[in-house]
């Protein structure tokens, strides 16, 4: 069962709702967390705060999303 995945900014990809209403993983990359803010660093922090509030047994998440851009190593 996934707890905390119904908040604004959480996008579901590999989830399903059981008959009892609980959200569960159906495999693969299950969720994405998105956020906007005045700066990239602030948006990253908000997105990681969102995913930090999600409970999924055995779940894992990347910590390097947009890190190179935040460090100025990527230019648009």
- Residue 40 is assigned to a structural domain of this protein: yes
76 in any annotated domain: no
22 falls in which pLDDT band (50, 70, 90)? very high
Domain containing 37 equals 2-70
Which band of pLDDT confidence, cut at 50, 70 and 90, is reported for residue 7?
very high
CB burial of 29-40 (b: ≥16 within 10 Å; e: otherwise) equals ebbebebeeeee
CATH number of the CATH domain containing 22: 3.90.600.10
Domain count of the fold of the chain: 1
pLDDT over 80 at 38, yes or no: yes
Mean pLDDT, rounded, of the chain: 92
Average pLDDT for 8-13: 94
Give the per-residue pLDDT at 32.
Answer: 93
């Amino acid at each position: 069962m996934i707890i905390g995945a119904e908040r604004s900014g959480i996008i579901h990809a590999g989830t399903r709702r059981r008959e009892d209403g609980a959200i569960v993983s159906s495999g693969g990359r299950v969720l994405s967390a998105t956020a906007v803010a005045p700066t990239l660093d602030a948006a990253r922090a908000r997105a990681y705060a969102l995913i930090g509030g999600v409970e999924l047994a055995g779940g894992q998440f990347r910590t390097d999303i947009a890190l190179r851009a935040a460090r100025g190593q990527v230019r648009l």
